[in-house]
């Protein structure tokens, strides 16, 4: 690709993102956080402001590259330590010993990591307060901070990526259902012009960043995903290019080039070398804590296009993306794609509103909740 598709831009239809709810990082998802172009990354609290942002794939790669001594927290002698690498699977961080022993693991949900020193050129990364990873040799302090930052960000990034993928089919269905398709505004046009200029200069990283902003503003715009996919493939990021092109086809399944683009996906899938584990939403819920109410659901803000497709007056409310089995939401009969419009008699405008309201609920409370299911409103009772 040597330029952004003008055809796709002109004719999107034919041419060619431990809380009370169980996952604080996702509770405030307002815009679509797409895995490819969209910049979903912000440094964790442990990272210096000058450190570059870390993607989920980079955090996953850093964690998996560790191989060294793993010790119980506050160990006195190294006899209690063992050599191991790290795997990320089934919502857990698994320490894999020399003989393939996988009996030592910690949950990714609510994972904490902090650095410390053991003296004599040795730093440690304490994981979840229970294990210490020894980092020895030149640059050990920097390496320990990098590993701790990757460990801390890994579950957050996994949650963001999962939420973006769960939200997108809802947006795609809404877009396809509208008889009159929305048209991007001047804010998108400005970014498109800048992205085109970046492509002409072969500055593909900057072009991908700009198209990330475009699909965050207008996640329903097929051409945005089409061009984003092309840019990512040009830069060798075939994993995210596949995701973006799949988004394009989900929005415009009858596009004249649909067959050609599906074949291109097959080629990119062969070239994709990504080994990052797929996030499991069930792993985002830390063990329950006494006295702390939890809804047991993953919410997001209601995308405006989804509100329009459902003939709602506005995009207020919290859209349920996932319901944990056996939790309070599950027992109340809540289901994915329900919109929580009111909680305990008070209107809910955003997912963050819902999270704050749930945190205030006393143990054992029974709370009336008004939901929108399809085009009907109904009430349920949530028991904590």
State the pLDDT at residue 80: 87
Report in angstroms the alpha-carbon separations of 48 from 24, 43, 134: 22, 8, 22
Could you tell me if 223 and 356 lie in one domain?
no
Could you tell me if 212 and 239 lie in one domain?
yes
What string of DSSP letters covers 248-276?
A: HHHH-TT-TTHHHHHHHHHHHHHH----P
State the pLDDT at residue 56: 76
C-beta separation of 80 from 72 below 8 A:
yes
Which of the listed residues 154, 170, 200 is the one where a domain comes to its end? 154
What string of DSSP letters covers 38-79?
A: S------TTS-TTSPP--HHHHHHHHHH-EEEEEETT-SSGG
Residue ranges of the chain with per-residue pLDDT less than 50: 1-35, 38-52
Q: Of 18, 26, 81, 83, which Cα lies nearest the Cα of 321?
A: 26
Beta-carbon contacts of 353 under 8 Å, excluding residues fewer than 6 positions away, are 318, 343
Task: Report yes or no on 120 lying in a domain.
Answer: yes
Could you tell me if 307 and 369 lie in one domain?
yes
Task: Report yes or no on 206 lying in a domain.
Answer: yes
Which of the listed residues 96, 131, 154 is the one where a domain comes to its end? 154
State the pLDDT at residue 47: 35
Beta-carbon contacts of 44 under 8 Å, excluding residues fewer than 6 positions away, are 149, 152, 153, 156
Residue 323 belongs to a domain with what CATH number? 2.30.42.10
Task: Report yes or no on 48 lying in a domain.
Answer: no
Q: How many domains does the chain have?
A: 3
C-beta separation of 57 from 275 below 8 A:
no
Task: Report yes or no on 190 lying in a domain.
Answer: yes
Q: What region, left, alpha or beta, does residue 119 occupy, with left being phi > 0 and alpha being psi -120 to 50 degrees? A: left
Could you tell me if 224 and 185 lie in one domain?
yes
Could you tell me if 325 and 296 lie in one domain?
yes
Residue 99 belongs to a domain with what CATH number? 2.30.29.30
Task: Report yes or no on 230 lying in a domain.
Answer: yes
C-beta separation of 321 from 300 below 8 A:
yes
Task: Report yes or no on 266 lying in a domain.
Answer: yes
Could you tell me if 116 and 201 lie in one domain?
no
Which of the listed residues 219, 246, 271 is the one where a domain comes to its end? 271
Residue given tokens 């992205």 in the structure block: 195
Could you tell me if 201 and 266 lie in one domain?
yes
Chain centroid to CA 314 = 25
Interval 18-28: pLDDT, tens? 334 443 333 33
State the pLDDT at residue 37: 56
Could you tell me if 97 and 128 lie in one domain?
yes
C-beta separation of 3 from 200 below 8 A:
yes
Find residue 113's DSSP bridge partners. 127
State the pLDDT at residue 331: 95
State the pLDDT at residue 243: 92
C-beta separation of 364 from 381 below 8 A:
no
Q: Rounded CA gap, 36 and 313, in Å?
A: 32
Could you tell me if 145 and 177 lie in one domain?
no
Q: For residue 277, what are its two tokens?
A: 């584990």
Q: Which string of b and e fits 196-217 if b means at least 16 CB within 10 Å?
A: bebbeeeebebbbbbbbbbbbb
Residue 32 belongs to a domain with what CATH number? 1.25.40.10
Could you tell me if 71 and 21 lie in one domain?
no
* Structural domain harbouring 242: 6-40+159-271
Q: Rounded CA gap, 195 and 210, in Å?
A: 6
State the pLDDT at residue 20: 43
Could you tell me if 173 and 133 lie in one domain?
no
State the pLDDT at residue 110: 75
């Amino acid at each position: 690709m040597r330029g952004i598709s003008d055809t796709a831009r002109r004719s999107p239809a034919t041419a060619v993102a431990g809380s009370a709810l169980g996952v604080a990082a996702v509770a405030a998802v307002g815009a679509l956080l797409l895995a490819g172009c969209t910049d979903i990354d912000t440094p964790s609290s442990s990272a210096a402001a000058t450190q570059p942002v870390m993607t989920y794939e980079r955090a996953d790669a850093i964690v998996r590259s560790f191989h060294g001594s793993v010790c119980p927290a506050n160990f006195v002698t190294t006899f209690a330590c063992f050599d191991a690498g790290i795997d990320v699977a089934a919502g857990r961080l698994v320490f894999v010993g020399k003989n393939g022993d996988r009996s030592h693991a910690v949950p990714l949900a609510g994972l904490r990591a902090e650095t410390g020193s053991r003296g004599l050129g040795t730093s440690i990364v304490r994981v979840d307060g229970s294990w210490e990873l020894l980092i020895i040799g030149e640059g050990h302090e920097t390496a320990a901070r990098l590993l701790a930052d990757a460990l801390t960000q890994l579950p957050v990034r996994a949650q963001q990526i999962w939420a973006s993928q769960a939200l997108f089919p809802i947006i795609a269905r809404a877009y396809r259902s509208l008889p009159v398709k929305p048209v991007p505004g001047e804010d998108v046009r400005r970014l498109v012009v800048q992205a085109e200029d970046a492509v002409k200069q072969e500055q593909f990283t900057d072009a991908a960043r700009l198209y990330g902003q475009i699909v965050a503003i207008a996640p329903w715009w097929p051409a945005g995903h089409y061009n984003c996919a092309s840019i990512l493939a040009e830069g060798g990021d075939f994993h995210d290019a596949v995701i973006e092109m799949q988004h394009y086809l989900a929005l415009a399944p009858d596009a004249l080039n649909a067959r050609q683009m599906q074949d291109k996906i097959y080629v990119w899938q062969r070239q994709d070398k990504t080994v990052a584990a797929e996030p499991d939403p069930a792993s985002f819920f830390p063990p329950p804590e006494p006295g702390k109410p939890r809804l047991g659901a993953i919410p997001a803000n209601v995308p405006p296009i989804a509100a329009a497709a459902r003939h709602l007056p506005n995009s207020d409310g919290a859209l349920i993306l996932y319901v944990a089995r056996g939790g309070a939401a599950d027992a109340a009969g809540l289901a994915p794609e329900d919109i929580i419009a009111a909680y305990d008699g008070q209107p809910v405008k955003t997912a963050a509103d819902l999270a704050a309201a749930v945190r205030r609920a006393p143990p054992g409370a029974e709370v009336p909740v008004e939901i929108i299911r399809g085009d009907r409103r109904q009430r349920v009772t949530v028991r904590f």
